[in-house]
Amino acid sequence: AAPAAGPQVVLVTGGTGLVGQGIRSFVEGAGAEGAPEGETWYYASSKDGDLRKAEDTRALFERVKPTHVIHLAAKVGGLFHNMAKKVDFYRENMLINDNVMGMCREFKVVKLVSCLSTCVFPDKTTYPIDETMIHDGPPHSSNEGYAYAKRMIDVMNRCYRDQHGCSFTSIIPTNIYGPDDNFSIQDGHVIPGLIHKCYIAKRDGTPFTIWGSGTPLRQFIHSHDLAALTVWTLRSYEEADPIILSVDEAAEVSIRDVALMVAEGMGFEGEVVFDSSKADGQFKKTASNAKLRSYLPDYKFKSMKEGLAETCKWFIENFETARK
Ligand code: NDP
């Protein structure tokens, strides 16, 4: 069934982050395809309420009165941050997710789309990973706090459907990149970290040093593609079970290739060094987008070369104000 007719209020939690801002620029830029007349979109930040707190979450829902929710808010970070703060990643995400789901039920939200991640899948698995395999074994120990908290979203989506008839579902993006990311070298994800490092190497005339061997393989999705597919999920995907939002398997790239594309995007011509004494994380996490392709066989993703060049340009132009 299509989402309820009539004016709708879409609350995007974590609306000021990488994915939230991607959705905003998609919805505001896409005209009729994005936000039809009568729809209001509200992009919440932590300043609108700390979702770890039940009373803040309730106040936000009372104020916005959402009919639909895209739940992105989370404590997120890269490999090194996850390894150092497992308890924080578990507890904060559990609190945020429990509060948001509880309020969505209470406020009779028509549809809730929450956000998982491919790094919540079992460490020991067969490839490609698909949506049915989330709970088939323990996640990689480097991010077990984050992973178990995220996995519980999937469990609770089914529980809320069974006990309360709620239309809750989730998306599973692969690694995301784009404008408005957190470009912290210490706590950020690989692409924004590489872009920031390359910026400094170019500015200071030093080598561009990449942590790890460069051999791990990853699938990256540009935040604008993820935005388009998330809005599609909200409007048209009716299953409770999650859907992987990823580029095709053939679009998997090595970290080395990404680093070289970043160097090109930044116009860096100095020495590129791979520091193999630093941890690599999982060698690969290849995900299947067969389910997505069964719904949207012709969707065309932005190429990495183009997406990275744009993101490098964005970082250079917004260096003073970018999160870093
Ligand atoms: P960002 O770090 O860019 O943004 C996080 C957002 O969550 C911000 O809007 C932030 O608000 C908000 N937030 C964080 N803590 C709280 C809190 N306690 N209360 C209220 N709001 C809070 O994250 P992304 O956009 O990268 O991630 C969005 C979702 O996508 C997350 O669920 C993440 O797990 C998932 N994901 C991300 C991937 C990636 O590669 N980035 C990969 C796969 C999944 P504020 O701006 O005020 O701090």
Q: How much distance in Å is there from the Cα of 207 to the middle of ligand 1?
A: 31
Q: Is 52 in the pocket of ligand 1 (CB under 6 A)?
A: yes
Q: Closest residue (by CA) to atom 44 of ligand 1? A: 117
Residues paired with 111 in a beta bridge: 68
Predicted pLDDT at 186: 81
Atom of ligand 1 lying closest to residue 50 CA: 19
Predicted pLDDT at 30: 60
Which residues neighbour 193 within 8 Å (Cβ) at sequence distance 6 or greater?
A: 78, 183, 184, 185
The reply to whether 199 belongs to the active site is no
Q: What is the pLDDT of residues 41-73, one digit of tens each?
A: 999 999 999 999 999 999 999 999 999 999 999
Closest CA to 274 of 294, 253, 288, 260: 260
Arithmetic mean of pLDDT, 205-212: 93
Q: Is 117 in the pocket of ligand 1 (CB under 6 A)?
A: yes
How sure is the predictor about 278, in pLDDT bands with cuts at 50, 70 and 90? confident
Predicted pLDDT at 31: 52
How sure is the predictor about 33, in pLDDT bands with cuts at 50, 70 and 90? low
Q: Is 153 in the pocket of ligand 1 (CB under 6 A)?
A: no
CATH superfamily for 190-217+251-287+297-317 is: UDP-galactose 4-epimerase, domain 1 (3.90.25.10)
Whole-number Å distance between alpha carbons of 54 and 51:
7
Domain ranges of the chain: 8-177+219-249, 190-217+251-287+297-317
The H or E element containing residue 115 is strand 111-115
Whole-number Å distance between alpha carbons of 44 and 26:
16
Please check the confidence at residue 6 and state whether its pLDDT lies above 50. Answer: no
Whole-number Å distance between alpha carbons of 24 and 93:
23
Q: How much distance in Å is there from the Cα of 100 to the middle of ligand 1?
A: 14
Percent of all residues in the chain with a pLDDT value above 90, rounded to a whole number: 82
How sure is the predictor about 5, in pLDDT bands with cuts at 50, 70 and 90? very low
Contact 103, 159 (CB under 8 A): no
Q: How much distance in Å is there from the Cα of 287 to the middle of ligand 1?
A: 21
Q: Is 262 in the pocket of ligand 1 (CB under 6 A)?
A: no
The H or E element containing residue 274 is strand 272-275
Please check the confidence at residue 268 and state whether its pLDDT lies above 80. Answer: yes
Please check the confidence at residue 280 and state whether its pLDDT lies above 80. Answer: no
Q: What is the mean pLDDT of the chain?
A: 92
Whole-number Å distance between alpha carbons of 19 and 14:
8
How sure is the predictor about 1, in pLDDT bands with cuts at 50, 70 and 90? very low
Q: What is the pLDDT of residues 130-177, one digit of tens each?
A: 999 999 999 999 899 999 999 999 999 999 999 999 999 999 999 999
Please check the confidence at residue 122 and state whether its pLDDT lies above 60. Answer: yes
Closest CA to 226 of 21, 73, 22, 45: 22
State the distance between the two ends of the chain, measured CA to CA, in whole angstroms: 43
Whole-number Å distance between alpha carbons of 246 and 318:
27
Arithmetic mean of pLDDT, 215-242: 95
Query: When comparing pLDDT for 23 and 38, which is higher?
Result: 23
Predicted pLDDT at 128: 95
Beta carbons within 10 angstroms of residue 229's beta carbon: 24
ipTM above 0.90, yes or no: yes
Q: Is 46 in the pocket of ligand 1 (CB under 6 A)?
A: yes
Q: How much distance in Å is there from the Cα of 14 to the middle of ligand 1?
A: 5
Whole-number Å distance between alpha carbons of 282 and 91:
24
How sure is the predictor about 34, in pLDDT bands with cuts at 50, 70 and 90? low
Q: What is the DSSP string of 173-206?
A: E-EEE-TT-B--TTTS-HHHHHHHHHHHHHHHT-
Q: Is 45 in the pocket of ligand 1 (CB under 6 A)?
A: yes
Predicted pLDDT at 221: 97
Q: Is 176 in the pocket of ligand 1 (CB under 6 A)?
A: yes
Q: Closest residue (by CA) to atom 3 of ligand 1? A: 17
| CATH code for residues 8-177+219-249 | 3.40.50.720
Which is the catalytic residue, given 43, 90, 146, 160?
146
Q: What is the pLDDT of residues 13-31, one digit of tens each?
A: 999 999 999 999 999 886 5
Arithmetic mean of pLDDT, 224-247: 95
Predicted pLDDT at 283: 83
pTM for the full model? Answer: 0.92
